């Protein structure tokens, strides 16, 4: 019987731009170790979900496994090296990453979709491709098997993988994601520090919720732990938080400072059920933002492209819109499609949703249970163009705020690093220019004429006065 033909892994081209390493890598230099090529793009929630699995494997096999990220960008903004570096730091990626904006390796390896992992054995041959997320156990079994086989054949050559990160400058904020304002206070999701800050409007920190270390732990103020908290909404004395990487909904009692988990068991769920009577037993999937209407929390469930609803009286939690298929489809709520909904707000029973992967702004009518599209056309239709309705183009928006007085929406047009205004009567989309440079703003919140903007990649909060168009950076500080 003939041995099956083995395919040598195509070598990495020498014209790629590298991160987290002092010099370009070659597959030949990694011979004697298992190599995983992770084809990803930093906007993609499924790609984000793969990263903890890769980190687990890197920790388990530090000398016999090499992980190399092959960044194959979807959006124009993701082609920019500086933005890729920011994403690497935001996601805490330690392994080497090569930026491949011309998709050379994508074509060489026959990749069809993000995320995909190419498995290469210690002799440099392709074993196969694993598509999609949720492959930790399968990868672990394969890595262990091929390490054992290589050891038996005498071809295993362990060596540590040196890492050369370029960290962000130290500061009070690290990649703030979302923001919420009241008459006297700002609440900032200091996402990169895994905490929520309560500050005065001038930026002076009053209280901190979360220890600053990633984890899932209830407790008072800094005794509690979050993991990449994002969206927030305020109901009475309670601040509700979408604790994204914990796949949980948390609640902060603002009078006592106690943090409590309301929903989520800490693990990522993947379409396991459409409703849960016991929210603490629910496996949620990257909840990214929250809003409130008539006793219900509405949740932008980015990880499975849906809207969910949690009743705060009886605490049941259920899907209310979105089939789970990643697309842009309007109509009856349960058959409609979203694509990584990442921002949500409410005006009189109509929810407005920043649907990031379709570069769209969608609506959900709570009473009619229908979904419509204000701006956006498809998964690969994006840009930076003013216009009316679906003629306009955005690029991966993450935040949205409603402006009742002006009958408008304000949009954090994240990958265009701009703020856009949508007239709710005419559906006209227009840029709003002012004097502070933005860098991938991830959230915004309107209080009267003050538009607070989480300028995520600049580690800043920007205050924009809409009446004067004057803008300033808020001096967020922890006074001794």
- Residue by residue, DSSP assigns 61-90 as STTTEEEEEEE--SSGGGGSHHHHHHHHHH
Q: Can you tell me the distance from the alpha carbon of 239 to that of 214, in angstroms, rounded to the nearest whole number?
A: 19
- DSSP strand pairing (341-347 vs 350-355): antiparallel
| Cβ contact 187:173 at 8 Å | no
Q: Residue 447 is encoded by which pair of tokens? A: 């209080």
Reported confidence tier of residue 82, pLDDT bands at 50, 70, 90: very high
Q: Which residue's structure tokens are 């009886």?
A: 314
Q: Two tokens at 203?
A: 């930026």
Are 205 and 197 spatial neighbours (Cβ–Cβ below 8 Å)? Answer: yes
Average pLDDT of 339-362?
98
Nearest in space to 130 (alpha carbons), one of 120, 122, 64: 120
Domain map of the chain by residue range? 17-153, 179-474
Beta bridge partners of 477: 204
Q: What confidence category does residue 5 fall into, taking pLDDT thresholds of 50, 70 and 90?
A: confident
Higher pLDDT, residue 465 or 4 = 465
Cis ω on the peptide bond leading into residue 60 (within 30° of 0)? Answer: no
Q: Give the Å distances, CA to CA, from 471 to 358, 420, 475.
A: 29, 15, 13
Tell me if 38 sits within 8 A of 54, measured CB to CB.
Answer: yes
From the CB of residue 381, how many other CB atoms can be counted at a distance below 10 Å?
14
* Residue tagged 């400072």 (tokens): 257
Decide if pLDDT at 462 tops 90. Answer: yes
Band the pLDDT of 163: cuts 50, 70, 90: confident
Residues 324, 341: Cα–Cα separation, whole Å? 11
Cβ neighbour number for residue 34 with a 10 Å cutoff: 25
Show the DSSP H helices in 44-153 as ranges: 45-60, 81-90, 104-108, 136-153
pLDDT averaged over every residue in the chain: 96
- At residue 50, φ and ψ (nearest 5 deg) are -75, -30
Position 271 scores a pLDDT of 80
**Structure confidence at residue 175 (pLDDT):** 98
Distance CA 186, CA 447 (A): 10
Which residue bears the tokens 């183009």? Answer: 393
Task: With a cut of 70, say whether residue 278 has pLDDT above it.
Answer: yes
In angstroms, the Cα distances linking 166 to 19, 21, 170, 177, 446 are 8, 10, 12, 21, 34
pLDDT of res. 480: 60
**pLDDT over threshold 70, residue 190:** yes
418-423 and 205-209 beta bridge pairing: unpaired
**Tens of pLDDT along 16-40?**
999 999 999 999 999 999 999 999 9
Number of Cβ atoms within 10 Å of the Cβ of 471: 19
Centre a 10 Å sphere on the Cβ of residue 264 and count the other Cβ atoms it contains.
Answer: 26
- The conformation of residue 58, written as its DSSP 8-state character, comes to H
Residue-level length of the chain? 480
Task: Give the number of other Cβ atoms within 10 Å of residue 148's Cβ.
Answer: 11
Q: Give mean pLDDT, residues 117-146.
A: 97
The predicted pLDDT at position 207 comes to: 98
Q: String of b and e for 276-299 (b: at least 16 CB within 10 Å)? A: beebeebbbbbbbbbbbbeebbbb
What is Dmax (Cα atoms) for the chain? Answer: 80
Task: Name the residue among 75, 50, 8 with its Cα closest to residue 381.
Answer: 75
Is residue 2 scored above 60 in pLDDT?
no
Of the chain, the percentage scoring pLDDT greater than 90 comes to 96
Domain 17-153 in CATH 3.30.70.360? The answer is: no
Say what the pLDDT of residue 4 is: 66
Sign of CA dihedral 179, 180, 182, 184: negative
Mean pLDDT of 73-96: 98
pLDDT confidence of residue 431: 97
Q: Which of 163, 142, 132 is nearest to 60 (CA)?
A: 142
Handedness of CA 421, 424, 425, 428 (dihedral sign): positive
State the average pLDDT over residues 214-229: 98
3-state DSSP assignment of residue 245: helix
Among residues 348, 347, 306, which one has the least CA distance to residue 329? 306
Whole-number pLDDT of residue 437: 97
How far is residue 189's CA from residue 240's CA, in Å, rounded to a whole number?
Answer: 11
Quick check: 341 pLDDT over 70?
A: yes
Phi first, then psi: what are they for 106, rounded to 5°?
-55, -50
Task: For residues 153-168, give the mean pLDDT.
Answer: 94
Other beta carbons less than 10 A from residue 128's beta carbon: 10
Instruction: Identify the pLDDT of residue 286.
Output: 98
Residue 3 has pLDDT above 70, yes or no: no
Choosing among 3.40.50.2300, 1.10.760.10, 2.120.10.30, 3.40.50.300, the CATH entry for 179-474 is 2.120.10.30
Smallest Cα–Cα separation from 87: which of 45, 129, 117, 54? 45
Same topology, domains 17-153 and 179-474? Answer is no
For position 1, what pLDDT does the model report? 42
CA pair distance 61, 44, nearest whole angstrom = 26
């Amino acid at each position: 019987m003939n041995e099956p033909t083995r395919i040598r892994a195509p070598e990495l081209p020498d014209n790629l731009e590298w991160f987290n390493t002092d010099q370009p890598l070659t597959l030949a230099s990694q011979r004697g170790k298992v190599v995983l090529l992770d084809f990803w793009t930093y906007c993609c929630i499924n790609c984000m979900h793969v990263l903890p699995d890769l980190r687990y494997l890197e920790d388990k096999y530090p000398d016999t496994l090499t992980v190399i990220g092959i960044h194959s960008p979807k959006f124009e903004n993701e082609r920019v090296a500086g933005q890729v570096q920011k994403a690497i730091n935001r996601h805490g990626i330690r392994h080497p990453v090569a930026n491949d904006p011309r998709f050379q390796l994508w074509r060489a390896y026959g990749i069809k979709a993000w995320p995909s992992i190419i498995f290469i054995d210690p002799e440099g041959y392709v074993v196969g491709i694993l598509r999609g997320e949720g492959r930790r156990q399968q990868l672990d079994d394969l890595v262990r098997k091929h390490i054992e086989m290589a050891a038996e054949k005498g071809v295993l050559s362990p060596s540590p993988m040196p890492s050369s990160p370029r960290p962000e400058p130290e500061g009070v904020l690290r990649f703030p994601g979302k923001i919420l304002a009241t008459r006297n206070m700002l609440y900032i999701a200091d996402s990169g520090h895994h905490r929520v800050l309560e500050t005065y409007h001038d930026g002076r920190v009053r209280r901190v919720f979360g220890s600053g270390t990633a984890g899932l732990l209830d407790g008072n103020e800094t005794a509690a732990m979050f993991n990449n908290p994002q969206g927030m909404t305020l109901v009475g004395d309670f601040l509700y938080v979408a604790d994204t990487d914990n796949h949980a909904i948390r609640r902060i009692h603002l009078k006592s400072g106690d943090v409590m988990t309301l929903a989520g068991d800490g693990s990522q769920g993947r379409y396991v059920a459409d409703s849960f009577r016991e929210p603490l037993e629910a496996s949620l999937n990257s909840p990214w933002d929250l809003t409130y209407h008539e006793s219900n929390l509405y949740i932008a469930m980015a990880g499975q492209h849906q809207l969910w609803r949690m009743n705060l009286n009886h605490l049941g939690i259920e899907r209310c819109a979105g089939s789970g298929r990643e697309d842009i489809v309007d109509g009856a709520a349960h058959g409609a499609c979203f694509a990584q909904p990442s921002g949500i707000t409410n005006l009189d029973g109509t929810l407005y949703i920043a649907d990031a992967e379709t570069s769209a702004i969608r609506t959900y009518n709570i009473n009619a249970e229908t979904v419509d599209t204000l701006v956006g056309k498809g998964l690969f239709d994006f840009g930076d163009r003013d216009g009316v309705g679906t003629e306009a183009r955005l690029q991966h928006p993450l935040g949205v705020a409603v402006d009742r007085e002006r009958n408008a929406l304000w949009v954090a047009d994240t990958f265009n690093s701009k703020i856009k205004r949508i007239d709710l009567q005419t559906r006209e989309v227009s840029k709003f220019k002012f004097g502070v440079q933005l860098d991938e703003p991830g959230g915004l919140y309107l209080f009267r004429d003050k538009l607070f903007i989480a300028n995520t990649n600049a580690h800043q909060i920007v205050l924009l006065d809409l009446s004067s168009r004057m803008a300033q950076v808020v001096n967020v500080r922890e006074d001794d």
